[in-house]
Amino acid sequence: MRVTPTQLLSGMVLIVLVARPAVTVTGACFQHDENFTVLAEDEMLAADVLASANRFRQRVANEWLGVELPPSVGETIIHVTLSDEEDRGLTWAIDSPNRSMHKIWLTTSRDRANGSTLQHEIAHIVLATRYPQRLPAWADEGIAGTYDEQDRINLRRQIIHWYADTGNWPSLESVFQMPTIINTDKKAYSVAASVTEFLLTRGDRPTFVEFAAAGQQAGWDRALQDFYRLESVAALQQAWQAWASGIETSNSELGHIRVEQGNRETDPSPECSIPGVPGRPQQDTRASHGH
Ligand SMILES: [Zn+2]
């Protein structure tokens, strides 16, 4: 997930109004290197997440940009709250000169904090570091979603299968124009993931990233012509629907629904000392919520 300031503000209200399962934070410990600062409830977790974050940062950059990010660009603070009941992640990328670090909040299990939930958010961070103006929301989520667990992927396929089965296809033009995709909009996530998957059958991952950046700048018809030899969004719509109708039939048995993500920030507790965290944004104590 990625979030805008407006969503953060609305989320602050939601956090107050919506009761959530209790998440106990017994402490906050600190691990740090040139790329990440990790706050977690024990030293081992913080160290593990730090190592996982660096591994994912390298992997995502190599896979989608074709080259690693230099050390320390896109420096990020990661807050981890352990929960066996929730699985939520949120990224707030640098969006003003007053902020020097990206932020990630995770409320999830120990495994997912070192696995799919972390990697989804790291994908947003890598892309936001390379493209500070941000990629279009659908492409950003399409890329990050490739690292999700299979049950989320199955849910999306179930939705696409319904479109194929009923013929009630959504307009790609409207999805491409969405400034953000809110966390409850499963159909938009599904379309983003499916169109991403389709275009990856026609070109490699760095090509997709370049297409997404170009489409935002020059328009989608032009970008489709330049990168995929498709005439227009209308042509993409037709080709995608045909492709999705074919492959989704075989996945009809898949899918079960689960609630997706929001966000909650955790404040460091005094149980572990936290040395001065360089460049921590002032918003650090805000609770927030969003996609
Ligand atoms: Zn996301």
Q: How far is the CA of 164 from the centre of ligand 1 (A)?
A: 25
| Residue pair 193/157 in contact by the 8 Å Cβ criterion | no
Q: How far is the CA of 270 from the centre of ligand 1 (A)?
A: 31
Q: How far is the CA of 1 from the centre of ligand 1 (A)?
A: 2
Residue 225 has pLDDT above 80, yes or no: yes
Q: How far is the CA of 137 from the centre of ligand 1 (A)?
A: 9
Q: How far is the CA of 273 from the centre of ligand 1 (A)?
A: 31
One-character DSSP codes across 101-149:
SEEEEEEE-HHHHTSHHHHHHHHHHHHHHH-TT---HHHHHHHHGGGS-
Section 112-131 average pLDDT: 98
Q: What is the pLDDT of residues 9-34, one digit of tens each?
A: 444 433 333 333 434 445 589 999 99
pLDDT score of 170: 97
Residue 159 has pLDDT above 90, yes or no: yes
Q: What is the pLDDT of residues 247-281, one digit of tens each?
A: 544 443 333 222 334 333 333 333 333 333 333 33
Q: What is the pLDDT of residues 123-149, one digit of tens each?
A: 999 999 999 999 999 999 999 999 999
Q: How far is the CA of 182 from the centre of ligand 1 (A)?
A: 9
pLDDT score of 269: 34
Q: How far is the CA of 272 from the centre of ligand 1 (A)?
A: 30
pLDDT score of 74: 97
